[in-house]
Amino acid sequence: MTDTPSLEVDHLTKRFGDFTAVDDVSFALHPGEIFGFLGPNGAGKSTTIRTLLDLIRPTSGACRVLGMDSRRDAVEIHRRIGFLPADLALWNNLTGRQTLQYLANLRGGVDWGWVDQLSERIGADLERKVGEYSSGNRQKIGILQAFMHRPEVLILDEPITGLDPLVQLEFHSLLRETADAGGTIFLSSHTISEVERVADRVGFIRRGHLIAVERMAELHDKALRRITLEFAAPVPAAAFEGLEGVHEATVEGATVTAQYEGSMAPLLAVATQHDVLSVASASVDLDEIFLEFYRDEVEAAEER
């Protein structure tokens, strides 16, 4: 990746009256990177995207795409990027191909050999009218229109909605190929598993605050583990409180479940003081990593 960002959000704040949708958010993406922008519905993801596209104006701060100001240079930016909105609206009386032809003409033409190749890869039927499509087939047209002009930056909002698992895999392969060729991909989602397969970095936004930005590999390294201990008789919860590396321990009768990081030794030292019948351990998935690792940051942001 180069040092020059291909997409920048610089201290972005957007208010609607007394409501702050995005509060002082900053991050930067570089060529060759897939960035996952994660958060629950209403977190501020779509507001950030609309500001990047100059569909709405920031209250303060700025956005830059390919080194250009999102407000001053919006027309040139739109020429060089691809965008897939979360709620895609199309013309029901046009076929898929007619829809793409219309959008391609607005752009001054595209390579139809490339479009047909993309269409074949994701199994898009371009000859039926859009009004006859399932939600998944409509989404395929949305993907095609975002990729058909080989954009330098792709901004994708909930892109796999309605796609079956095999098409999702092909779509993720297309994302990685695009990034490997030097493109930049901004992938917004409320589902961590959606971006886990392809993202290089992830940013987590909640209630308009950017809680954290992490490299995916480093996030996996920080993964907690969960251990379940079965005892011959109930054990006191106080025995597991304050142990080194233990983030949370719950006791239900003779069963203790704990989340921990690092060495298991302190936990086992206490456990073996009692009659242990069985021990089971597993990694915590990324959804729980976010909820646990950023618990303090999330609570602090919500109190502001």
Question: What single string gives the DSSP state of each residue in 179-213?
Answer: HHTT-EEEEEES-HHHHHTT-SEEEEEETTEEEEE
Per-residue pLDDT tens digits of the chain, which is 304 residues long: 557 899 999 999 999 999 999 999 999 999 999 999 998 888 899 999 999 999 999 999 999 999 999 999 999 999 999 999 998 999 999 999 999 999 999 999 999 999 999 999 999 999 999 999 999 999 999 999 999 999 999 999 999 999 999 999 999 999 999 999 999 999 998 877 778 889 999 999 988 999 889 898 777 666 667 889 999 999 988 888 888 888 788 899 999 998 887 788 888 899 999 999 999 877 655 666 666 545 555 555 555 5
Which ranges constitute the DSSP H helices of 53-125? 74-80, 96-107, 112-122
Q: How far apart are CA 278 and CA 266, in angstroms?
A: 17
Tell me, rounded to whole angstroms, the distance of Cα 281 from its chain centroid.
28
Classify 205 in phi/psi space as left (phi over 0), alpha (psi -120 to 50) or beta. beta
Report domain 7-220's class: alpha beta
Determine contact, residues 188/45, Cβ cutoff 8 Å. Answer: yes
Determine contact, residues 129/93, Cβ cutoff 8 Å. Answer: yes
